[in-house]
Structure 1
Amino acid sequence: MTRPIIGIIGNATLINDTYQTQAAGIMNTEAVAQVSGGLPLIVPADPACASVPELLEACDGFLFTGGRPNVHPEEYGEAETPAHGAFDRNRDAVTLPLIRALVERGQPFFGICRGFQEVNVAMGGSLHPEIRDLPGRENHRMPPDGTVEEKFALRHKVTVSEGGPFHRLFGATEVMTNTLHGQGINRAGRRIVIDGHAPDGTPEATYVEGALGFTLSVQWHPEYRAAEDPVSRPLFEAFGEAARAWARGRQPLRMSA
């Protein structure tokens, strides 16, 4: 059969500080093509370009990528402050209703970093604007200097629930991951199960309780060397399997506990 079409949510980007684009990282497109076995399709995160119903019909699954702008705090009932950073309201307008529709349909999606946070907000949760400012928390942000390898290096453990979906994929309850984020989950959204934590208690892995399809999301960046990393590879493989199941007959492949 033909490969399932995976919509990769793009990010608004300026080339040479002048030319506006919608872009997705090559790490994401290669992970989808080479590990998930899907056909990557970059989706412009702009409601003027595509509606949620159109996207649901066009794609078999969706990858909600990381991105520098944050979900606007008004989406979870809080006022904007300088600590919340930059925003992309167009992306919010596409991803949040799309996630809710995907949960309802049982259509597969995989959330990464900002995508992890979007899933929580879409389901009614809230975010901390800056994890490192919380008592007892570590700095989870990307190192400001160094090579790509140094920025994406494994930096802390994540412990997942025994017998849960992440444990079943990893074959272990403790794994090593990178970390490149400033914000994180404050209040978990409706049906959001926090299934993995960093050593400082920061939520790192979630799924939607009772969802019919694949709804796994992680706060780290598994797209980096996804084909080689023993933690990343099973995530993208399982996501691809779920997308193929949907493409065959629009049947959800359940991954929750």
Structure 2
Amino acid sequence: MSRPIVGIIGNQHLINDQYPAHAGGSMNSEAVACVAGCMPLLIPADPRFVSVPELLATCDGFLLTGGRPNVHPEEYGEEATEAHGAFDRARDAITLPLVRACVERGQPFLGICRGFQEVNVAMGGSLYPEIRDLPGRMNHRMPPDGTLEEKFALRHVVRFAEGGPFHRLMGAQEVMTNTLHGQGIKTPGKRIVIDGLAPDGTPEAIFVEGAEGFTLSVQWHPEWDAANDPVSRPLFTAFGDAVRAWADGRVPVRQVEHA
């Protein structure tokens, strides 16, 4: 019996600083295959190669991954500055309409880090270019030194809204997460519900209000050690259940139904 397909949004990458490639972290594929129980399929997120209708027809669900380039601020009506960092306009051109189409169809997606930010922008929201520059905010960026274990180590609490989908899914109102991001939500998009916050008030967990399908998205990186982490595992398991339901009969499964 074939597994349902999760399209993993890839990032543009240069090998040896000159050979262009589409890349995706192996931990994303591992989380999709081993925890969600689906077949990972890396997508070259570039409208020259794929279209949103083709992706919707080919994949049963989507993992909107993290990535070094940021969503271009023109996508939310602001001018680019040095603080906004690098961009990937090709990925913007695929993911933003893909998110809106999935919300409309009830097709499941899980947003992670940049993917979390893409969901907010796709729904009309905006982003801060650098969270650590805001008064009272902590530095959420990846530590520059250390092993992968040290960089992805749990670093702060996220507190969920009481009775919300994340609270019910995790069975706890507070969980420990890692943090490896520079940008964050400034203005929530239309229908975006902020369901979890870091201690400094930075939004860390969202969903799309009234969406027929699974739209849970997080600012941290649950793909790290997803099989063993008590926060990551239920998130990917619920996502996999929603993808299987879609594959079996193209039936939307709300995120709250898994809580």
* Whole-Å separation in 2 of the counterparts to 1:117 and 1:89: 14
| 2:254 alignment counterpart | 254
Contact 1:65 1:114 in 2 (8 A): yes
User: 1:35 maps to which residue?
Assistant: 35
**Residue 168 of structure 1, CA deviation:** 1.1
For structure 1, the 5+ residue unaligned runs are none
Q: In the alignment, is residue 223 of structure 1 matched against residue 190 of structure 2?
A: no
Residue correspondence of structure 1 range 79-94 to structure 2 within 5 A: 79-94=79-94
Is 1:192 matched up with 2:192? yes
Matching residue of 1:242: 242
Structure 2 match to 1:45:
45
Instruction: Please give the alpha-carbon distance, in whole angstroms, between the structure 1 residues aligned to 2:78 and 2:105.
Output: 29
**Deviation of 1:3 (Å):** 0.8
Supply the AA of the counterpart residue of 1:216. Answer: L
Distance 2:74 2:256 in 1: 29
Distance of 2:255 and 2:30 partners within structure 1: 23
For 1:31 and 1:85, locate their aligned partners in 2 and report how far apart those are by CA, in whole Å. 28
Deviations along 1:53-99, one digit per CA (max 9) or x if unpaired, are 00000000000000000000000000000000000000000000000
Q: Deviations over 1:137-162 (max 9, x none)?
A: 00000000000000000000000011
Identity between Structure 1 and Structure 2 (%): 77
The structural deviation recorded for 1:169 is: 1.1
Partners of 1:255 and 1:25 lie apart in 2 by: 25
Distance 1:125 1:235 in 2: 24
Q: Distance in 2 between matches of 1:2 and 1:187?
A: 41
How many Å apart are 1:256 and its aligned residue?
A: 4.1
- The amino acid that maps onto 2:159 is T
The answer for the alignment partner of 1:205 in structure 2 is 205
AA aligned opposite 2:211: A
Q: Which amino acid aligns with 1:36?
A: A
Letter in 1 for 2:107: Q
Q: Which runs of 4+ in 1 moved over 6 A?
A: none
CA-based RMSD of the aligned residues comes to 0.7
Kindly provide the amino acid, as one letter, of the partner of residue 109 in structure 1: F
**What amino acid is aligned across from residue 128 of structure 1 in structure 2?**
Y
Q: Which residue of 2 aligns with 1:142?
A: 142
Matched with 1:110 is 110
Question: 1:180–1:221: 8 Å Cα contact kept in structure 2?
Answer: yes
Structure 2 unpaired stretches of 5+? none
Contact 1:166 1:195 in 2 (8 A): yes
SS of equivalent to 1:186: strand
Q: 1:159 to 1:67 in 2, by over 3 A?
A: same
Q: Is the 8 A contact 1:161 1:195 kept in 2?
A: yes
Give the Å deviation of 1:18.
Answer: 1.5
Q: Partners of 1:249 and 1:79 in 2: how far apart?
A: 43
TM-score when scaled to structure 2?
0.98
Superposed displacement of residue 178, structure 1: 0.1
Aligned runs of 1:99-178 on 2, under 5 Å? 99-178=99-178
The count of residues paired between Structure 1 and Structure 2 equals: 257
